[in-house]
Amino acid sequence: MLRKSTDIRQEEIKRAVLTIIHRDGLKNISTKNLAKEVGISEGTIFRHFQSKNDIMMGIIDDVSQGLIEELKKITLLDKPADKRLFDLLCKTVTYLVENKGITILLFSEASYDNDTVMLKKLNYIFNSQKQLAGKIISDGIAAGIWDKTISIEDVTTLYMGIPITLNIEMILNGEKFQYKNFCNRMYNLMLKILMKT
C-alpha cells in the first residue's frame, strides 16, 4: 500500500477534477469517480478534504494565488504598456490552455448554487483580470501611446471576452482548435481599438 502525504494527495485530487471535467464532462466529477481517477478509495478523499465543496474552493484559490498573482506581477513590471498588455493576455491564454477544465469549473460553480462565498471568490478572479488590464491601458493612455477618448471600462469588458471565448472554442472544437497565435491575433485587435485616430 503506497502512502502519500495530504499535501500531495490534495494536489492529485484537484488535478483529477480538472482532468475529469475536460475529458468526461462536469457530470462525472463525483467523489467516486474522483477517487477512481486518483487511484484511492472514496473515503480517502474525505481524509484529505473536509467536503467536495472544499476541493472546488481549493482549486479556485489556486487560480487566485497562481494566475492572478502572476498577472499582477506582469502589470507592475517596468515595461511599456503595449508589451505588458501582450504579456498579460498571453499569460492568461497559456494558463487556460494548460489548465483545461478550469473555466468550465469556474463558470459552473458561479452558476451552481448562488453561494455568496463562492461568488465573491469568482468575482475577485474576474474583476482582478479586468482591473489589471484596465491599469495597463490607463498607463498606455497616460504615456501618450493610446487613444485617451476610449472608455477603459468598455475595452476591458471586451477584453474579458477573449479568455472566455477561448474556452467555448476549446469545449466545442476540442483538439481542433488552434491556440497557436491566438493571443497575438487577439492582441492585434485590441491594439486597433486602443490606437489613436
Partner DNA sequence: TACATTTGCAAGCAAATACTTACTTATGTT
Partner DNA sequence: AACATAAGTAAGTATTTGCTTGCAAATGTA
Residues numbered 35 to 74 that lie near DNA (CB under 7 A) are: 39-44, 46-48, 50-53
CB 47 within 8 A of CB 7: no
The whole-angstrom separation of Cα 45 and Cα 149 is 54
Nearer to DNA (CB atom), residue 12 or residue 169? 12
Q: Answer yes or no whether residue 29 interacts with DNA by CB under 7 A.
A: yes
The whole-angstrom separation of Cα 176 and Cα 171 is 10
Q: Answer yes or no whether residue 119 interacts with a copy of itself by CB under 8 A.
A: yes
The whole-angstrom separation of Cα 160 and Cα 58 is 23
The sign of the CA dihedral 166, 171, 172, 178 is: positive
Q: Amino acid letter at 36? A: K
The Cβ of residue 43 has, within 10 Å, a number of other Cβ atoms equal to: 9
How far apart are CB 157 and DNA at their closest, in Å?
34
Q: Answer yes or no whether residue 151 interacts with a copy of itself by CB under 8 A.
A: yes
Q: Answer yes or no whether residue 77 interacts with a copy of itself by CB under 8 A.
A: no
CB 45 within 8 A of CB 13: yes
3, 176, 180, 192: which one contacts DNA (CB under 7 A)?
3
Q: Answer yes or no whether residue 172 interacts with DNA by CB under 7 A.
A: no
How far apart are CB 12 and DNA at their closest, in Å?
9
As given in the structure block, the three cell numbers for residue 106 are: 469556474
Nearer to a copy of itself (CB atom), residue 54 or residue 113? 113
CB 124 within 8 A of CB 64: yes
Q: Which residues bind a copy of itself (CB under 8 A)?
A: 21, 23-28, 104, 107-108, 110-115, 119, 122-123, 126-127, 150-151, 154-155, 157-158, 160-162, 164-165, 168-169, 171-173, 185-186, 188-189, 192-193, 195, 197
Q: Which residues bind DNA (CB under 7 A)?
A: 1-6, 9, 28-33, 39-44, 46-48, 50-53
